[in-house]
């Protein structure tokens, strides 16, 4: 179960924002085995002053078009899977939306399965 939050500067079309969501979800399915229909995303635009990214941290040249992608999901993926996920997302965003790979910032947060409730006030993964 991933919960994905995508934050970007305002001014993009609804289709552009939807495509980012589609790309991230597709990579999660293809690379780390997220189940079909297991899609929960918040995509939000912000005024330029509300997104701050150092333009050169770790010698990566970021532009004002930086996109923050926060993925919270169950524990258990290998480092290789995580690296492949980051690479796949950045490459697909570049190929399909002409987004600079340098502008793709991804944060991955792993949690135990008991930390999810999908509704009804229940912890569905706890058995």
CB 4 within 8 A of CB 69: yes
Phi, psi of 67 (to 5 degrees): -120, 130
Which of 76, 70, 82, 74 shows the shortest CA–CA distance to 124? 74
Q: Is 2 a catalytic residue?
A: yes
Report d(CA 17, CA 13) in Å as an integer: 6
Nearest to 6 by CA among 88, 54, 66, 52: 66
Name the catalytic one among 1, 2, 38, 105: 2
Name the DSSP class of 35.
Answer: P
User: Phi and psi for 26 in degrees, rounded to 5?
Assistant: -60, -40
Which residues does the annotation mark as catalytic?
2
């Amino acid at each position: 179960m991933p919960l994905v939050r995508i934050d970007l500067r305002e001014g993009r079309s609804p289709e552009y924002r939807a495509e980012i969501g589609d790309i991230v979800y597709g990579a999660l399915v293809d690379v780390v085995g997220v189940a079909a229909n297991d899609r929960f995303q918040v995509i939000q635009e912000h005024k330029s002053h509300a997104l701050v990214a150092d333009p050169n941290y770790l010698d990566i040249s970021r532009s004002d078009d930086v996109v923050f992608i926060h993925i919270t999901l169950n524990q258990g993926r290998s480092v290789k899977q995580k690296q492949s996920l980051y690479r796949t997302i950045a490459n697909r965003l570049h190929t399909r939306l002409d987004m600079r790979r340098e502008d793709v910032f991804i944060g991955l947060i792993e949690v135990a399965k008991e930390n999810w409730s999908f509704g009804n006030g229940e912890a569905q993964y706890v058995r």
